[in-house]
Chain A
Amino acid sequence: MNVKNYLCCSLIPILLAGCTPSPKVLEDLQLVQTIGYDYVNGEEFEGTAGSSNIPPGEQSLPVNEVFTATGKTSKRIRQKIQAEAARPIVIGRVGLVIFNQELAEHGIENQIDSLQRNPSIGRKLLLVVSKEKAKDIIDSNYSQSDSVSQYLIDVVEQNLEQTIPKINLHRFLVHYYSKDADPFLPLIEKQGKHLKVSGLGIFKDDKLVDTISFGDAYIFKILYEKFRRGQFEVELSGGEDVSLENLSSKPKIVVEKTNGKYTATFKVKVNGRAMEGVNLDLTDKKTIERIEKAVEKEITDRAEKMVKRFQELDADPLRIGEKARQRSDFNRKEWKAQYSEMEIKIEAEVNAVQSGIIE
């Protein structure tokens, strides 16, 4: 290597020194893990940052730390929060953003915009709508020993696997910016010492227009994506209760257009395992068939009701429009005009493949 190369090599670090990131040493940062937004008035809103302080020591437990401020923009709120924090506030580890229901009804465009522009925020960020004030949810103690933020994130994350359709910032933005679909978010509420997921909030553009119950959220999930696990309970004609464990389910949407009229059909296949039929003979084929029929009817009825409600609201969280757009003869104007009136059928096919461990 000649002198020129040596010079070049030593110059690179010197020249690069200008573009280096500034060091942010882990323990000198105030890591915000949850953010909550509450409604104040038409212009301002209240932001809450949930964070935790971890005292030194091997067995130390995190101490909850909550900052709250009011302002017109998220950046302004952050500035106000920074004023009362002992260490620089960073939001690279935010895992959950909570919107108060009232705020969501007024629209969350500002907040979403600031979240999606920030490069230090991951796309796997979870968004939820809360019935209570977001601040109350973040600033309270739960029976779990983890830090509050971690507990909140765990509750929502676990439910996204099991009971409600998967949604995070990335998926929300896909629905939000799509012209043929509308977003939805999980709904949470506090119940004593616990947080619980209590359904789904349906959005029209950036505004919350409706909420559906926890039971309906499960139907929503069956219609929305393929998944495993999860419980479903029906009452048979004889009055017996039976619960069906979902082993696998797969939805398919077919949109047809005849004479300029759109029709949509949900074809749902559910493979399940009949559990907890106390007074039933689950070895009997007829009983199994009865269960299958009952579940099919239950799914169809509830789904139809739910879809009707969506049509009334002119919201499309099940992204039927996205499916329709795949047709070569799709016309968005016609679709928008017809959506709330069109015929949407549900075809459920339930197959009870197992009945658990029996004699």
Chain B
Amino acid sequence: MGFFKSKLKRFNRDNKQKKNENSEHELRIDELLHRCKESTDFVSYRYSESSPFYIHYYQTIVDINILHQYVLPYIKENESQTLFDLQQAIPIDNTEIIDNVHEIRDKLLTGCVVVEVKGSLQEALVISAVSLEKRPVSMPEVEYSVVGPKEAFVESIDANINLVRKRLPIPDLIVEEVKIGSLTKTRVAVLYIKGVTDKENVNTILQRLNEIEFDQIVDSSFINQIISDNHSSPFPHLIDTERPDRVASVLSEGKITIIVDGSPHALTGPTTLVEFFSAFEDYFLSWHIASIFRLVRLFAVFFSVLSTSLYVAVLTYHYEMIPENLLNPLIASRSGIPFPPILEAIILELTIELLREAGARLPTKIGQTIGIVGGIVIGTAAVQAGLTSNVLLIIVALAALASFTTPVYQMGNTIRLIRFPFLITAQLWGLLGVTFCFSYILSHLLKMTSLGRPYLAPVYPLRLDDLRDSLFRLPFFMQTKRPLQVRSPVRTRFQPKKHEKSKRDIED
């Protein structure tokens, strides 16, 4: 790992040096245009024989309507020969006269029309005419909720920030933008509420973002992996969400959000393990229901991780601890099977993983067939053919079902993965092995951090105040304080009025 890292660094350094050499050499506009002309979608022409203006742009990223309506007519009418007069005439706010060729190049490549006067090699008028191709805001698909808002982020960073700012109309919502990726030059925005968010957290994120040396940032998950505290951990360090409402709520809690251009998922942090098991829908339901559902989800995680390994451990080593009434059905279902429990479990687990993987990669219409093939054909047939016991089939199916209850997809993947070490240790040392593996993962979680803040936070270190919105969710009037985890300078969210036993009607 370290070896590759150093190699990567060296590679990036070489790239930088080349870039510096380039910039040292004074680039001229005609050289730039010459280079651009190698690409066929680059258009460059003189408006008319009499006009002094030359127009250059990439036709694939320029909105041709803007050009036709607001640029070309004014160039035609304009009798003056200077760029300044032209700039005054054109009814577009975002125009600039730039004399730096590198800046001109950058603008050209982000969808601007460049107008220059033949002969003046120093400056050019840059008119913004970006054509924004974006899909409309749609329903959330990964974090679907039955009640509550139904809008999800899209790929455009501006649209995403718009969605967040609509929900937080305050000047304190700060957006800081950086460009990352030596090739993709991806816009990455860091959002936080000034005065509520700990400055140290913001600095940590900005520093880590600025230190990224990578050629392409295609999606926010790249950022998530690159800036994570521990690269060898299978657990995600930041929550990725596609819900603007979740982002707004997390921001007002004092956390930070990273939005990446081209990605419909925003990253939020610092985060804790229990946050991964809270769906945002929990806040839309009454607190009793939400609390129970959270506990059910937590139980589901334990069940999903431990059930098959316990089956293997008990059947291979601990015949003494099987309940009396379960003994006969277990032996009856096991006795015809040619494999030891571990092989049986691994085969079934892998089958489920195959089904899941196949279902995820296939288009929805074929995906339904997968369910039928997997559930009915493989499941029932395997039992009837005597390849697996039906008890294990039930356990594995339930475990798979339980792992789907995790609201954050990334965490669901982690849970899928960590089942396998448990299975193997269960086969090697029985229950002792399961305990061993559990302690190993627990100690890993204990020392893990998210943006330098403890990952197991409200549980360890124990913060009783934070427990109000972690394993269970207490009513809103009790959530008067921001979590200690984010180190917010303003801990109080609101001043609670004295809670009344019953809500009164309007008083005369």
Hey, which bits of chain A sit against chain B, CB under 8 A?
1, 13, 16-17, 20-21, 23-27, 29, 31, 54-58, 60, 62, 90, 92-93, 95, 120, 122, 147, 150
Question: Please, could you name 10 A-B residue pairs with CB atoms under 8 Å apart, sorted by A?
Answer: A16-B429, A23-B340, A23-B427, A26-B319, A27-B337, A29-B319, A60-B332, A92-B319, A122-B320, A150-B324
- State how many angstroms separate the Cβ of B393 from the closest Cβ of chain A: 13
- The answer to whether A26 and B334 touch (CB under 8 A), given A16-B429, A21-B430, is yes
Cβ-defined contact, A21 with B428, below 8 A: no
- State how many angstroms separate the Cβ of A289 from the closest Cβ of chain B: 46
- Which residues on A sit within 8 Å (CB–CB) of B320? 92-93, 120, 122
- Which residues on B sit within 8 Å (CB–CB) of A57? 332, 336
- State how many angstroms separate the Cβ of A222 from the closest Cβ of chain B: 30
- Which residues on A sit within 8 Å (CB–CB) of B322? 26
Cβ-defined contact, B317 with A21, below 8 A: yes
- In the assembled complex, the Cα of A17 lies from the Cα of B316 at a distance in Å of 16
Which one, A21, A58, A95, A150, contacts B429 given CB within 8 A? A21
Cβ-defined contact, A58 with B332, below 8 A: yes
- The answer to whether A26 and B330 touch (CB under 8 A), given A21-B317, A122-B320, A150-B324, is yes
- Which residues on A sit within 8 Å (CB–CB) of B429? 16, 20-21
Which one, B314, B319, B335, contacts A54 given CB within 8 A? B335
Chain B interface SS verdict (over half):
helix
- Which residues on B sit within 8 Å (CB–CB) of A90? 319
Cβ-defined contact, A25 with B340, below 8 A: yes
Given contacts A56-B335, A120-B320, 4 further A-B pairs with CB under 8 A are A21-B429, A24-B317, A92-B319, A150-B324
What residue of chain A has the Cβ atom nearest to residue B383's Cβ?
A58
- In the assembled complex, the Cα of A343 lies from the Cα of B91 at a distance in Å of 121
- State how many angstroms separate the Cβ of A119 from the closest Cβ of chain B: 11
Cβ-defined contact, B332 with A55, below 8 A: yes
Which one, B232, B327, B341, B427, contacts A1 given CB within 8 A? B232
What residue of chain B has the Cβ atom nearest to residue A17's Cβ?
B428
Cβ-defined contact, B316 with A25, below 8 A: yes
- Which residues on A sit within 8 Å (CB–CB) of B331? 26-27, 54
- In the assembled complex, the Cα of A25 lies from the Cα of B322 at a distance in Å of 12
Interface presence of B333 (CB below 8 A): yes
- The answer to whether A93 and B319 touch (CB under 8 A), given A13-B428, A25-B340, A62-B328, is yes
- In the assembled complex, the Cα of A24 lies from the Cα of B318 at a distance in Å of 8
- In the assembled complex, the Cα of A23 lies from the Cα of B340 at a distance in Å of 10
- In the assembled complex, the Cα of A54 lies from the Cα of B320 at a distance in Å of 17
- Which residues on A sit within 8 Å (CB–CB) of B428? 13, 17, 20
- State how many angstroms separate the Cβ of A225 from the closest Cβ of chain B: 25
- Which residues on B sit within 8 Å (CB–CB) of A13? 428
* Interface flags, B418-434, vs A, CB<8A=1, else 0: 00000000011110000
Cβ-defined contact, A55 with B335, below 8 A: yes
Chain B CB count within 10 A is highest, among A13, A29, A56, for: A56
Residues 309 to 356 of chain B near chain A (Cβ within 8 Å): 314-317, 319-320, 322, 324, 327-328, 330-337, 340-341
- Which residues on B sit within 8 Å (CB–CB) of A54? 328, 331-332, 335
Report the number of A-B residue pairs with Cβ-Cβ less than 8 Å: 65
Cβ-defined contact, B334 with A27, below 8 A: yes
- The answer to whether A31 and B317 touch (CB under 8 A), given A21-B429, A25-B340, is no
Hey, which bits of chain B sit against chain A, CB under 8 A?
232, 314-317, 319-320, 322, 324, 327-328, 330-337, 340-341, 386, 390, 427-430
- State how many angstroms separate the Cβ of A308 from the closest Cβ of chain B: 41
What residue of chain B has the Cβ atom nearest to residue A31's Cβ?
B319
- Which residues on A sit within 8 Å (CB–CB) of B315? 25-26
- In the assembled complex, the Cα of A24 lies from the Cα of B320 at a distance in Å of 11
Cβ-defined contact, B430 with A56, below 8 A: no
- State how many angstroms separate the Cβ of A313 from the closest Cβ of chain B: 37
Which one, B316, B330, B337, contacts A23 given CB within 8 A? B316
- In the assembled complex, the Cα of A25 lies from the Cα of B315 at a distance in Å of 6
- Which residues on B sit within 8 Å (CB–CB) of A23? 316-317, 340, 427
- In the assembled complex, the Cα of A261 lies from the Cα of B61 at a distance in Å of 113
- State how many angstroms separate the Cβ of A145 from the closest Cβ of chain B: 11
Chain A CB count within 10 A is highest, among B331, B336, B340, B428, for: B331
- Which residues on B sit within 8 Å (CB–CB) of A150? 324
Chain A CB count within 10 A is highest, among B332, B337, B341, for: B332
- In the assembled complex, the Cα of A17 lies from the Cα of B433 at a distance in Å of 11
- In the assembled complex, the Cα of A93 lies from the Cα of B429 at a distance in Å of 21
- Which residues on B sit within 8 Å (CB–CB) of A147? 328
- Which residues on A sit within 8 Å (CB–CB) of B317? 21, 23-24
- In the assembled complex, the Cα of A120 lies from the Cα of B319 at a distance in Å of 11
- Which residues on A sit within 8 Å (CB–CB) of B335? 27, 54-56
- In the assembled complex, the Cα of A120 lies from the Cα of B317 at a distance in Å of 12
- State how many angstroms separate the Cβ of A220 from the closest Cβ of chain B: 28
- In the assembled complex, the Cα of A57 lies from the Cα of B331 at a distance in Å of 9
Cβ-defined contact, B341 with A25, below 8 A: yes
- Which residues on A sit within 8 Å (CB–CB) of B390? 58
- In the assembled complex, the Cα of A29 lies from the Cα of B319 at a distance in Å of 9
- Which residues on A sit within 8 Å (CB–CB) of B430? 21
What residue of chain B has the Cβ atom nearest to residue A94's Cβ?
B320
The 9 nearest A-B residue pairs measured at CB: A56-B336, A92-B320, A27-B334, A54-B331, A56-B335, A27-B335, A26-B315, A23-B316, A60-B332
- State how many angstroms separate the Cβ of B152 from the closest Cβ of chain A: 38
- In the assembled complex, the Cα of A20 lies from the Cα of B429 at a distance in Å of 6
- The answer to whether A24 and B316 touch (CB under 8 A), given A1-B232, A58-B333, is yes
- Which residues on B sit within 8 Å (CB–CB) of A62? 328
- State how many angstroms separate the Cβ of B266 from the closest Cβ of chain A: 31
Cβ-defined contact, B328 with A24, below 8 A: no
- In the assembled complex, the Cα of A259 lies from the Cα of B315 at a distance in Å of 64
Chain B CB count within 10 A is highest, among A26, A95, A150, for: A26
What residue of chain B has the Cβ atom nearest to residue A59's Cβ?
B332
